[in-house]
Amino acid sequence: MKLSKQTLIITLLMALGMAVILRIVNLGSREFWYDEVLSLLLSTGQKNSYQHPTDMPVLLSNYINVLKLPIENNFNDVAQTFVNFLKGLVAEPHPPLFFIEQHFWLRLWGNSEVAMRSLVALFSLGSIGCAYGLGRCLLGNQGGLLFAALLGLNPYYLFHSLNVRMYASLVFWTLLSSWSLLELISRNSAQRSLNSLILKPVFLNSKWFWTFLLIISVSAGFMTFYYFAFWLIVLGALILLLNPQRWWQYALYLFSSIIITIPWLWWGTRQQLRNADLGRFATTNNWLEAMLKHSQEFLDVLGIHLLLGDWVSIAPSWLITLIGIIALTILVWCIWSLWYNQEYRLLTIGLLLGIFPLLLMLTFDIITQKFTLGFGWGRSVIFVLPGLLLLVTIYLEKAAKKWKDITIISLLIIYLTVNITDFSLRSRSMFQQISNIIEKQPDTPTLIVMNSQAWGHVLRLAYYLPSTSPVSLLAQNSDELASKLEKTLQSTTNQYERIIWLDSQRPVWGKPTTEKQKEKVKAMLEKQFKLEESKTLLGTWELDDFTFNLYQNYTKNNF
């Protein structure tokens, strides 16, 4: 199949339109997931006001207040909220910029799902624009559209474009810094491309403009995610390979970016390092086992980033690795084809922006004996995603011949299919289902018994359940739940007309409930309550999964 240039461009524009539509229609299609509600808590500036559940029930409505901005009557109150907000960040492992952005966005638009995710989605649209600019700088208009379309429909990036975390904005700063640097290099290099000069406003041809963007984007990237420091090495490698004569000039720009971050580095980062939990990344003492796991993580990241997307949350390990092998095979073919066609400069840029930082992170893990590459299904290295897609784009534009158009169409269809099936077949509405049941009898005193004290579970309950209903929460680890429930029922005889027992499949801070522990809780409840309904609540991954049991008090006359 051979498409005309105009038809291909129209197809790419349609793909970009779909990328925008998918973001808009899915802003509120799913409940907040675990980390998103933590982002909301941090953004309100009330993290330090949060109190973990005790061994006695607490009104769930008490928790909803920490998911909103505090009452502020004057400027001093606003300033105090911001001070508390910064204090809450120093126990987190991430720099403050993303949360600062969300804090002020929260002030403008509130704490709804759509409002909180809209800023992240806007950053992702900015990333698509930067992808077009970077692709156009290297490959012309069609190459820019192709790169933007692949990024816009990439399943992994679409998921993070609708996720109230810093990863979508991290990709934005990664792309903007790369684009700015390559624009500067093109103006300082004898190999200056016509694509960088024609059909642009005057300010886009200004070196000062691109210098400003480079400094700001590098500084912002580092203040969004600490691993962006590896991206500084990537930018340095680009400079030394493409324009080594002016290395000192670019070094000055990058140094200026770091200077901007010094206030936070001095005050916040030092405290974060003291609070860091690096033990969770520990490696094994067996060298062969460690190398196999490092290799698997490398393959998994490729497969997740390029093909699998958020389906990774329910995919078996062997399938993730298999898809990673397929992704690696595709990349090797792209690299070999570009080398064969003597596209050395573009191949070098693609390798530096995609493969090199991934190998850099892998080497860091091996040396430090940690496993960070595959953490969070590869989200800690999401800044390699644009480079990987750029490498594929360069291949399609410069090395793919006979099968170019059909390959482009097929890849876009695969991406679109993965996205549509993901968001249409996998819902996340567990807590809304519980809320709907409670709202059938909104004035009924209710106790929710849950085997997890993790704040991601507690706060999601508080966010979605009606705040006006008399609902209390008893949250304890699985091994303590039965005894604490017995104590509660003895001290609050006939206080609760309804009990909802939520058994988390992954309590986060404790172990799942054993069958013996379940029997104890069940026996405790059946002394006074009758089981009315039981079902499984499923979300998009294990942290969302609960067994729901509704018990009614049969000693009450109205039951």
For 406-423, the pLDDT digits (tens) are 999 999 999 999 999 999
Q: Using the predicted structure, report yes or no on whether residue 493 has a pLDDT greater than 80.
A: no
Per-residue model confidence (pLDDT) at position 198: 47
In order, the DSSP letters of 473-488 are EEE--HHHHHHHHHHH
In order, the DSSP letters of 74-133 are SHHHHHHHHHHHHHHHTTSSS-SHHHHHHHHHHHHH-SSHHHHHHHHHHHHHHHHHHHHH
Per-residue model confidence (pLDDT) at position 283: 65
Q: Using the predicted structure, report yes or no on whether residue 129 has a pLDDT greater than 90.
A: yes
With respect to residue 141, please indicate whether it lies within any of the assigned structural domains.
yes
Tokens of 379: 């989200």
Same domain, 362 and 417: yes
Per-residue model confidence (pLDDT) at position 468: 87
Can you tell me the mean pLDDT for 196-205?
A: 56
Same domain, 263 and 324: yes
Higher pLDDT, 236 or 289: 236
CA distance 18 to 15: 5
Same domain, 441 and 343: no
Can you tell me the mean pLDDT for 62-90?
A: 92
Can you tell me the mean pLDDT for 34-56?
A: 93
In order, the DSSP letters of 182-226 are HHHHHHHSTT--GGGTTT--GGGG-HHHHHHHHHHHHHHHHTT-T
pTM metric for this prediction: 0.94
The dihedrals phi and psi of 80, each to the nearest 5 degrees, come to -65, -35
With respect to residue 532, please indicate whether it lies within any of the assigned structural domains.
yes
Please, what's the largest Cα pairwise distance for the chain? Answer: 89
Higher pLDDT, 302 or 284: 302
Can you tell me the mean pLDDT for 539-551?
A: 94
Q: Using the predicted structure, report yes or no on whether residue 183 has a pLDDT greater than 60.
A: yes
3-state SS record for 382-429: HHHHHHHHHHHHHHHHHCCCCCHHHHHHHHHHHHHHHHHHHHHHCCCC
With respect to residue 94, please indicate whether it lies within any of the assigned structural domains.
yes
**CA distances to 221, 223, 533 from 276, in Å:** 20, 17, 43
Same domain, 420 and 434: no
Same domain, 307 and 275: yes
Same domain, 421 and 455: no
Can you tell me the mean pLDDT for 275-302?
A: 81
Torsion, Cα 455 282 227 383, to 10 degrees, reads: -90
Same domain, 410 and 511: no
Same domain, 355 and 478: no
Can you tell me the mean pLDDT for 127-151?
A: 97
Per-residue model confidence (pLDDT) at position 201: 62
Per-residue model confidence (pLDDT) at position 186: 87
Torsion, Cα 289 543 124 114, to 10 degrees, reads: 180
Task: Point out the domain boundary residue: 373, 401, 425.
Answer: 425
Per-residue model confidence (pLDDT) at position 194: 43
Structural domain count of the chain: 2
Per-residue model confidence (pLDDT) at position 210: 94
CA distance 179 to 361: 22
CA-closest candidate to residue 546, choices 555, 533, 537: 537
Confidence of residue 254 (pLDDT cuts 50, 70, 90): very high
Task: Point out the domain boundary residue: 425, 455, 484.
Answer: 425
Same domain, 447 and 328: no
What residues are paired with 501 via a beta bridge?
449, 549
In order, the DSSP letters of 162-191 are TSSSSHHHHHHHHHHHHHHHHHHHHHHSTT
**CA distances to 181, 227, 237 from 233, in Å:** 13, 11, 6
Confidence of residue 172 (pLDDT cuts 50, 70, 90): very high
Sign of CA dihedral 479, 484, 489, 495: negative
Tokens of 115: 């409002």
Q: Using the predicted structure, report yes or no on whether residue 203 has a pLDDT greater than 90.
A: no
The arrangement of strands across the sheet holding 471-475 comes to 58-59, 471-475, 446-450, 498-504, 546-553, 529-537
With respect to residue 359, please indicate whether it lies within any of the assigned structural domains.
yes
* DSSP state letter for 70: P
Confidence of residue 274 (pLDDT cuts 50, 70, 90): confident
The letter for the amino acid at 481 is L
Q: Which of 47-56, 142-151, 183-192, 339-348 has the lowest mean pLDDT?
A: 183-192
Q: Using the predicted structure, report yes or no on whether residue 151 has a pLDDT greater than 70.
A: yes
CA distance 136 to 123: 20
Same domain, 389 and 513: no
Q: Which residues are within 8 A (CB) of 108 and not within 5 positions of it... i.e. 6 or more apart?
A: none
With respect to residue 65, please indicate whether it lies within any of the assigned structural domains.
no
With respect to residue 62, please indicate whether it lies within any of the assigned structural domains.
no
H-helix or E-strand containing 499?
A: strand 498-504
Tokens of 201: 């406003």
Q: What percentage of residues in the chain have a pLDDT greater than 90?
A: 81
Per-residue model confidence (pLDDT) at position 197: 46
Per-chain mean pLDDT for the chain:
92
With respect to residue 76, please indicate whether it lies within any of the assigned structural domains.
no
Per-residue model confidence (pLDDT) at position 196: 46
| Burial bucket for residue 502 (CB in 10 Å: 0-12, 13-18, 19+) | buried
The letter for the amino acid at 308 is L
Q: Using the predicted structure, report yes or no on whether residue 225 has a pLDDT greater than 50.
A: yes
With respect to residue 55, please indicate whether it lies within any of the assigned structural domains.
no
Same domain, 348 and 463: no
Task: Point out the domain boundary residue: 375, 393, 425.
Answer: 425
* DSSP state letter for 448: E
Confidence of residue 284 (pLDDT cuts 50, 70, 90): low
The dihedrals phi and psi of 520, each to the nearest 5 degrees, come to -65, -45
Q: Which residues are within 8 A (CB) of 306 and not within 5 positions of it... i.e. 6 or more apart?
A: 154, 156, 327, 330, 331, 388, 389, 392
Same domain, 330 and 269: yes
Range of the domain at 513: 430-553
Per-residue model confidence (pLDDT) at position 491: 85
